[in-house]
Amino acid sequence: MSTPIKNRYDFVLVFDVQDGNPNGDPDAGNLPRVDPETGRGLVTDVCLKRKVRNYVQLTKECKDGFDIFVKEKAILGNLIEEAYSRLGINLEEEPADPKDGKKRNTKNKGQGNEVNKARDEMCRTFYDIRAFGAVLAIGANAGQVRGPVQLTFSRSVDPIVTLEHSITRMAVATEAEAEKQSGDNRTMGRKHTVPYGIYISHGFVSAHLANQTKFSEEDLKLFWNALENMFEHDRSAARGLMATRNLIIFKHDSALGNAPAHMLFDRVQVKRRTDLTKPAREFSDYQVLLDGQELKEIKKEVPANA
């Protein structure tokens, strides 16, 4: 694994959705998430992290060092046990090093420095643990990892409209349904969309925490690529047309940084360029400004002390 990153980063991600549901709320019948006080749309941080995980899994094919810990149908406790097995630590026996205890306090559970070794092995193996961290104090126990990469909830620039559409499937699921409809065989359903919304998310990359998880320059480059391209490999009928429009990266000169994150984020603005009395329905209705100048590039790295 290459050297951990030495610089702090803060970033702004601008993405949009057209005729789709960017992040359904299971507590609200899968309607698009909305701030009830302002009407602005929301997309959770874990939603975006899921897309990053999927992109890494797709492009790296779970190669050594780039496996994904939180993936579909994974049994997390088993993955921690496998880490101990790779290290040659037998959790059914007494600790090999007396410093870790003269006897095993709980069968099949790591203790003492064994936990630190397992945690380091989990960071080495799984990209998403190295980036986002994880709670590993389950099963065999590998402690807890605080990840260097963190994202905020995304919030739409303007209030969104959530639409609910009736849809028809020209088939039924069972013979009983067919008999009730006398062979008509139709199933009614519902679909939820946002006609258009442009969202802003803010993120942070800590060099200090990267040193603990060994999050490297290669890992960071992969993360930027994921933010740029994650929607291209996450198409579905439910999500409509989604795209990363801009990724503005503020690179600091050191691990401590040159400026507070909120001051850097204030340098980025997304404004309507069209008649405010008419609803926005596409990206060209907005302009993304960096230091007052319209931003044309999809990805732009800016010195944090500029």
The strand pair at 241-251 and 299-303 is best described as parallel
Short-list 217, 215, 162, 170, CA closest to 191:
162
Would you place residue 306 in the very low, low, confident or very high pLDDT band (cuts 50, 70, 90)? Answer: low
Does residue 223 fall inside a structural domain?
yes
**Number of domains comprising the chain:** 1
Does residue 257 fall inside a structural domain?
yes
* pTM of the complete model: 0.93
pLDDT in tens, 267-278: 999 999 877 788
Does residue 210 fall inside a structural domain?
yes
Does residue 93 fall inside a structural domain?
no
**Quick check: 285 pLDDT over 60?**
yes
Does residue 139 fall inside a structural domain?
no
Does residue 206 fall inside a structural domain?
yes
Does residue 16 fall inside a structural domain?
yes
Summarize the confidence of residues 102-128 as an average pLDDT.
Answer: 95
Would you place residue 1 in the very low, low, confident or very high pLDDT band (cuts 50, 70, 90)? Answer: low
pLDDT in tens, 26-45: 999 899 999 999 999 999 99
% pLDDT > 70, the chain? 99
CA–CA gap between residue 248 and residue 48 (Å, rounded): 16
CA–CA gap between residue 37 and residue 14 (Å, rounded): 22
Judged by DSSP in three states, 157 sits in strand
Top-confidence residue, 277 or 137 = 137
Going from the C-alpha of 63 to that of each of 28, 50, 56, 229, the distances in angstroms are 38, 18, 10, 20
Range of the domain at 25: 9-61+147-162+191-303
Does residue 90 fall inside a structural domain?
no
**Quick check: 146 pLDDT over 80?**
yes
Position 255 scores a pLDDT of 97
